[in-house]
Amino acid sequence: MKVFVTGATGFIGGHVARKLRDRGDEVVTLVRNPEKGAGLRDIGCELAEGSLSDEAATRAGMRGCGAVIHGAAVYEVGIPKDEHEAMYEANVLGTERVLRAALEEKIPKVVYISTVGAFGNTRGQVVDETYQHPGEDFTSYYEETKYKAHEIARRLIEDEGLPCVIVQPGGVYGPDDHSALGTQINQFLAGRMPLIAFPDLGMNMVHVDDVADGVLLALDEGKVGEAYVLGGQITTMREMIETVARVSGKKAPKRAMPTPLLKAMTPIGPVVGRLMGQPPNLSELISSADGVTFWAKHDKAMEQLDYSPRGLEQGLRDMLEAEGKLLAAG
């Protein structure tokens, strides 16, 4: 099968593209910068030069394909307001362009990579795919844009017949993860985490390879119109750091960073964020993490797609081994 993939130069999308190629699919990837896509070309992907705002390039790239996987998005929490427009353009308008182009080009099967973040703060509940975000009280602008993109996908499915399956990954980690989550893990391993920030932040942590496997399962077996959470283990930031500590043989911090202290530092957010390896908008970072849970179960994917993710300890062990950090830690 020939598959058009957006976001293949990113973390999840890159793993998806490689797994498609490994099983023999033809892959066309939308890339803004061909140099950044050199690794994709090396594994046999065809590069379609263009951005999410380039409708002509998007349509040309997917024409003749049997499937589309749309995963491109800007993922960052704590951005300043002057970056909101670019995030909205990519996450909301970009999603609508890609999915509508797939509809009008009559692509037989579409997979949209959403996020459990589209549910918003689950407030201690472990929800499933039937849960609905209230549409207000967003913890971050990223959450707001992904909620709106998710609603666009649902509307195109329900009102216009888009043959689409939605997948919703949890907190994704894995080798060479440059996200805020990956930064936290690396800071701990480097001995630069005397205190745990937001220890009660709740996530469903999942290895990137398991997410990519889930995307392919949704492509092959997913029922059009359905959404599937792709998670690995319901956990918290404290438990995640303690698990990294156990796997690496290091000591986890016992104390948490006081949130009032972080709130007091919001006026100098850009400076503090740089020191902590975090974005500059500390106020948004706090609202998206302080006592917030993004908990969603993946039972449906396991039952209907034969999705089988690894546990957190095994996943972190696999990640550190792939990065060459397990022996170094030992």
Tell me: pLDDT of 19 over 50. Answer: yes
Overall number of domains in the chain: 1
Q: What is the pLDDT at residue 257?
A: 86
SS (H, E, C) 246-302: HHHCCCCCCCECCHHHHHHCHHHHHHHHHHHCCCCCHHHHHHCCCCCECCECCHHHH
Q: What is the pLDDT at residue 329?
A: 47
Tell me: pLDDT of 157 over 60. Answer: yes
The boundaries of the domain holding residue 8 are 2-173+205-232
Share above pLDDT 90 across residues of the chain, in percent, rounded to a whole number:
85
| Residue 128 maps to a domain | yes
Mean pLDDT, rounded, of the chain: 94
Model confidence pLDDT, tens digit, residues 26-40: 999 999 999 999 999
| Residue 274 maps to a domain | no
| Residue 51 maps to a domain | yes
| Residue 81 maps to a domain | yes
| Residue 72 maps to a domain | yes
From CA 259, how far away is CA 256, in angstroms rounded? 9
- Greater model confidence, 280 or 97: 97
Span 123-137, average pLDDT? 96
Share above pLDDT 70 across residues of the chain, in percent, rounded to a whole number:
95
How many C-beta atoms surround the C-beta of residue 109 within 10 A? 20
Tell me: pLDDT of 176 over 60. Answer: yes
pTM of the model as a whole: 0.95
Q: What is the pLDDT at residue 274?
A: 61
The answer to whether the CB of 4 falls within 8 A of the CB of 30 is: yes
Q: What is the pLDDT at residue 73?
A: 96
Confidence class of residue 218 from pLDDT cuts 50, 70 and 90?
Answer: very high
Tell me: pLDDT of 276 over 80. Answer: no
Which CATH number does the domain housing residue 64 bear?
3.40.50.720
Q: What is the DSSP letter of 90?
A: I
| Residue 47 maps to a domain | yes
| Residue 38 maps to a domain | yes
Q: What is the pLDDT at residue 261?
A: 76
With residue 191 as reference, give the H or E element that holds it.
none
Tell me: pLDDT of 5 over 90. Answer: yes
Model confidence pLDDT, tens digit, residues 239-253: 999 999 999 999 999
Confidence class of residue 57 from pLDDT cuts 50, 70 and 90?
Answer: very high
| Residue 94 maps to a domain | yes
Which region among 148-157, 270-279, 295-304 has the lowest average model confidence (pLDDT)?
Answer: 270-279
The answer to whether the CB of 184 falls within 8 A of the CB of 242 is: no
Span 270-299, average pLDDT? 83
Strands (E), 7-66: 26-31, 46-49
Q: What is the pLDDT at residue 330?
A: 47
Confidence class of residue 178 from pLDDT cuts 50, 70 and 90?
Answer: confident
**Of 5, 153, 23, nearest in space to 70 by CA:** 5
Q: What are phi and psi of 30, to 5 degrees?
A: -80, 120
Secondary structure class of 229 (helix, strand, coil): strand
Query: In sequence order, what are the residues at sequence separation of 6 or more whose Cβ sits closer than 8 angstroms to the Cβ of residue 282?
Result: 78, 262, 263, 265, 266, 269, 272, 273
